[in-house]
Amino acid sequence: MKWNRFLSVLLIVVLAMCAGLTGAAAGGLAVYRAVRHNLAPAAKTATLIPAAPTATPFVLPFNTISVDTAITQAVEHVGPAVVTVIAQLPDRISAFGIVPGGTSTGSGVIITQDGYLVTNDHVVEDGVEFSVVLANGEEYPAVLKGSDQFSDLAVLKMDAKPPAVATFGNSDALKPGETVIAIGSPLGDFRNTVTVGVISATGRTLDTGQGYLMQDMIQTDAAINQGNSGGPLVNLAGQVVGINTLILRTGSGGNVVEGLGFAIPSNTVQAIAGQLIERGVVARPYLGIRWQAITPRIARMYDLPVEWGIFVTQVQRGSPAERAGLKAGDIIQRMNGILLDDQHPYINTLFNYEAGETVTLDVVRGTQTLQLTVQLGEWIPRIDE
């Protein structure tokens, strides 16, 4: 009886445990199914993708970045002082009547507060009336104050208050390779055109073909064209270091060349312009003769006793030459010991001295060699004197 009761209790306990385990299992299975039901769809479609950056795309702020350079600053400083020079040429008489003279154009740069400006002599040559056009297009009349053919410089005065005045730099300090800027009006139409290059060389000498040399010239590869003549050559400090005067398009043998421009050094410009403003002329020494240069070819053609020098064709009355005893037919071979040859033309050698100075001339007269002393006079220079 007791044993049967024990077995009955044990059976109840076992059944109860089994029921608990079965319930737990069933509960766990239900939870698993619920979780699986909720998570499975996301798990099946999920892909790991890095989040895209949310930074604002970079946009270059053109309106806030300064683009000023030494070149642009120099141009802004000098540009308003650069002008276009217009010269009215005289009318001509032809078989068909009077032909209008037309105009020639070049460039110039204002150098004083009262409106004086410098340009090239060949820009104003033969002009009868003049005007200048500012960078902003305004045009004003101008008066020629003086010119000098040997330096190829001239000074005009504009009839208006200048918008700006350029300053000069020291041309003696220029070095090859230094950046320079040419400003002018090529062809007369493209006002204040800016070109950039370098100093190619200094101290260049150019034969004008008129019996004298242009000396101490600045060579540059900055583009210079017809109409740029008289415009400034500017350094990066915004200073005028030269006045553009000519270009070479052909070299020896007829070869076409590029990038050969030349400017008159600013130190020369200041000296010449100062005299033109003050006196209207440049004080030059003179002898008072007409002459012809002697070269080895001419000496052979005319069987002359020397290969270099100048042949005196005429002596002016009352001139320093007449007072010194020079005569037509004399050959001046040396001046103060300097041989008058292709490297030392008569005009350039003469201009090394000032009016009033005394020089010694080595003169060949027939079979004689003489030394004459002459005190140089002062004259408005012309190539035939």
- Residues with a known catalytic role: 122, 152, 229
Answer for the pair 152, 48: CB distance below 8 angstroms, yes or no: no
Of the candidates 136, 230, 152, 221, which has an alpha carbon nearest to the alpha carbon of residue 181?
221
Answer for the pair 383, 210: CB distance below 8 angstroms, yes or no: yes
Angle, alpha carbons 310-316-321 (nearest 5°): 60
Amino acid (1-letter code) at residue 176? P
The phi and psi torsions of 150 (rounded to 5 degrees) equal -75, -35
Amino acid (1-letter code) at residue 292? Q
Give, rounded to a whole angstrom, the gap between the first and last alpha carbons of the chain. 169
Q: DSSP string spanning 174-233?
A: --TT-EEEEEE-GGGTSTTEEEEEEEEEEEEEEE-SSS-EEEEEEEE-S---TT-TTPEE
Residue bearing tokens 């019996």: 211
Question: Which residues is 234 bridged to in the sheet?
Answer: 181, 240
Answer for the pair 183, 225: CB distance below 8 angstroms, yes or no: no
